[in-house]
Amino acid sequence: MNLYKSKVYIFNLRFFALLMLNFLLGLTCIHAQNKIVQRSPDQKLSLELEIKEGKPTYQITYNNKVFMGKSPLGLITSVGDFTRGLKLKSHQVKPIKERYNLSHSKVSNVNYNANELSCWLVNSKDDAIQIIFRITNRDVAFSYHLPKRKNGGTDATIELEATGFHLPNGSTAFISPQAPAGSGWENTKPSYEEAYTIEEPINTKSKYGLGYTYPALFHLGNLGWMMISETGVDQNYVGTRLSDSKDGLYKVSFPQSGENKGVGANTVTAKLPFQTSWKTITLGTNLSAIVESTAATDVVKPLSAQTKIFNPGRATWSWIVWQDASCNYDDQVTFIDLAATLNCEYILIDALWDTQIGRDKMAELVKYASKKNVGVLLWYNSNGSWNSAPQTPKNLMNTAESRQNEMAWLQKIGVKGMKVDFFGGDKQVTMKLYHDILMDAAKFGLSVNFHGTTLPRGWERMYPAFATSESVMASENLVFEQSFADRYAQTATIYPFTRNAVASMDFGPVFLNDRLNRDPKKGTIRKTTDAFEIATGVLFFSAIQHWGITPENLKEKPSFLFDFLKVVPTVWDETKLIDGYPGKFCILARRKGVKWYIAAINGENTAKKVKVTFPMLAGQNAIIISDGIGKDAKLDTKKFDQNTMFEFDLAPNGGTVIYMK
């Protein structure tokens, strides 16, 4: 007994001595080793990483004010717990200067200038993890990297991300709730088709208690604005989302296990070495930083050797107002002719073409369109068994063999691209399906437009075939629901600051019918002015833009509206926020070549005057489409000399477009 006791005693003494030694060594370098501060190239934005009691946190200040409070970092994985017991082993800083081009985005040439801080941490078992931060003058992006292991497995499973975002007290949110798995029409949700909150205090319970989707915009009171999003998700990750917030802290969470009808894990499994998605935090004292940020593309790399698959452009689209019955041969001829009249590059032929037109007649239709210089885009159901959406064609996109056979046929008959609808959620297995479709489409020279879908995360740069995605309450809701049509003007002023700030958005804008139905006596009533509608053709960015125009509009409305639609580009060299506030109004300027296109919309039900200077218009002859009497638009021209002041006179739910001759 005595012997035993003395052994324990000796062990404890050794342990104590070791502890003391560690403590003394630690004391001398505790600041140097456990806290790192790294600033942006302009020094205004500052990131502080701290390891306290083994737990890593980060904090972000801007102009020395805390924008992001101390927030947790870390992963729990099958190759180690990297949320606690961590020590900082080493770190490195290097400047990153990169110029890159985007062929189908809101900006064409990006001058990326960041400081990269990379930190190696080890846990108590000496397992290593690297956290990589990229700090620009307006963004912090970060990602976790798990190295190859000397001994042991080649795979890792990520069980949990401990990453969080701690918002300052009093912040408010423009943010859309995460929908329950299998909810919605024919179990097609979640599909990023929920209404945004408007200036909702943080810590409010989310609509379904399941947190929120990206991007999430926060108003930090007098401090400014911040947007949180995710990028760089390919087949190796899930689409994450934000939890509800508690005491201002939002945490990253993984998909619900019920997504994809319960099939597939909601965790991540991938080969080592392995890098997670990037979380991006964009901030500034005003909203320009948010609208003009390129964080979604800055930190990702092209995954295909091809650089260009498709020509961006505009499309006519019968389905949106004329619905399912119009996906027949004759109506599509009508819309091909409409596309030719409007100088549209494309026609989108929506669901049910396989039964209502048929494959042989489709080949004929594609030939007819091609004679008119119109490319055909065809709709597909993504199924699979993950929802009950009955529309056909289906079961052609979910397996490699059927998909590639179908794409070979599309290529053979001269189809230019696909719209693929009704996906199963954000699990890794679904992310792999997106990846596979995009990679295959590139091989067959087809563009891809996803609907009923996740947020595209950096895909404009990663995948040359990626054209656009819905991932928003889009124009179909104007047709389906009067309540959406009633609040549309307000909703439209939120999208440029949220969803459309991070990626191409296939809203399907520009409606000139008074009622959104083939029968003019039926359907939802449009509440916006004609000038508002025309302005959304610039305000909303989508590399392929599907107009809500119908043939009778050409007879009923003045030709100057169509003169604009005939020339407006769909991808841009530059995008600038001129003024605006989500939910109230938005004025954007976009440049293509030497020409600027300026769009203003009023999201409120009261008239609004806004005075703005446009230095870019100095010496230019401009065409102005603005609100006239009632819903009608009027046309003016104006020569801007050195005085580039302009006063917008916006009707309730109205708008204005200014563009160069």
Residues that bind Ca ion (CB under 5 A): 452
C-beta of 75 vs 478, nearer to Ca ion = 478
In the complex, the smallest distance separating the C-beta of residue 240 from Ca ion, rounded to whole angstroms, is: 22
Min dist. Cβ of residue 351 to Ca ion (A):
11
Nearest to Ca ion of 452, 580 (CB atom): 452
510 DSSP 8-state letter: -
CB of 466 to Ca ion, least distance (A): 17
Provide, rounded to whole angstroms, the least separation between the CB of residue 471 and Ca ion. 9
From residue 116, give the alpha-carbon distance in Å to each of 96, 133, 143, 328, 538: 7, 6, 11, 55, 35
Q: Supply the minimum distance, in Å, between the C-beta of residue 452 and Ca ion.
A: 5
Contact 536, 492 (CB under 8 A): yes
- Answer whether 116's CB lies under 8 Å from 94's CB: yes
Closest to Ca ion by CB, 58 or 214: 214
Min dist CB 305 to Ca ion, Å, is 32
Interatomic CA distance for residues 130 and 89, integer angstroms: 10
Neighbouring residues of 215: CB distance < 8 A, sequence distance ≥ 6: 227, 228, 229, 455, 498, 499, 501, 502
In angstroms, give the least distance from the CB of 430 to Ca ion.
16
**Would you say how long the chain is, in residues?**
661
CB-CB contact of 117 with 49 (8 Å): yes
Choice between 389 and 598, CB closer to Ca ion: 389
- Residue closer to Ca ion (CB basis): 452 or 603: 452
The distance of closest approach from Cβ of residue 500 to Ca ion in the complex, given in angstroms and rounded to an integer, is: 16
**Nearest CB to Ca ion, comparing residues 362 and 433:** 433
Tell me if the bond preceding 384 is cis, omega within 30° of 0.
yes
The residue among 516 and 616 lying less far from Ca ion, judged by its C-beta, is: 516
The sign of the CA dihedral 183, 451, 429, 250 is negative
Q: Which helix (H) or strand (E) holds 387?
A: none
Is the bond preceding residue 190 a cis peptide, omega within 30 degrees? yes
State which amino acid sits at residue 327: C
Measured CA to CA, the distance from residue 481 to residue 154 in angstroms comes to 51
∠ Cα 552 556 559 (to 5°):
105
The two structure tokens encoding residue 168: 């300052």
How many whole angstroms from its chain centre is CA 279? Answer: 13
Q: State the DSSP string of 176-192.
A: EEPPPTT-SGGG---SS
The smaller minimum CB distance to Ca ion, of residues 419 and 457, is found at 419
Query: Which CB, 473 or 535, lies closer to Ca ion?
Result: 473
**Shortest Cβ 421–Ca ion spacing (Å):** 7
Residue closest to 546 by CA, chosen among 339, 381, 393, 332: 339
Nearer to Ca ion, 182 or 452 (CB): 452
- Distance of closest approach, residue 193 Cβ to Ca ion, in angstroms: 6
Nearer to Ca ion, 105 or 387 (CB): 387
Q: How far is the CB of 454 from Ca ion (least distance, A)?
A: 12
Q: Which is nearer to Ca ion, 80 or 508 (CB)?
A: 508
Q: Which two tokens stand for residue 603?
A: 């999201």
Dihedral, 538, 542, 548, 554 alpha carbons, nearest 10: 50
* Least gap, CB of 474 to Ca ion (angstroms): 6
Residue in this structure with the two tokens 């003016």, named with its chain if needed: 636
Please give the single-letter amino acid code of residue 177.
P
Alpha-carbon gap, residue 472 to 176, rounded angstroms: 9
Q: Give the H or E element holding residue 7.
A: helix 2-34
Instruction: State the nearest-atom distance from the C-beta of 481 to Ca ion, in Å.
Output: 12
In the complex, least distance from residue 260 CB atom to Ca ion, rounded to whole angstroms: 17
Closest to 218 (Cα-Cα) out of 287, 297, 161: 287
Contact between residue 281 and residue 141 where contact means Cβ atoms under 8 Å apart: yes
- Closer of 83 and 477 to Ca ion (Cβ): 477
Cβ atoms of 310 and 542 closer than 8 Å: no
* Euclidean distance between CA atoms 499 and 612, whole angstroms: 25
- In whole angstroms, how close is the CB of 451 to Ca ion at the nearest point? 5
Tally: H helices and E strands in the chain: 16, 38
CA 131 to chain centre: 24
Closer Cβ to Ca ion, 452 or 464, answer by number: 452
How many C-alpha atoms does 525 have within 13 Å on its Cβ side?
Answer: 4
Q: How far is 367 from 373, CA to CA, in rounded Å? A: 10
CB neighbour list of residue 450: distance below 8 Å, 6 or more residues apart: 419, 420, 421, 423, 434, 456, 468, 469, 470, 471
Nearer to Ca ion, 309 or 349 (CB): 349
Residues 108/118, Cβ–Cβ less than 8 Å:
no
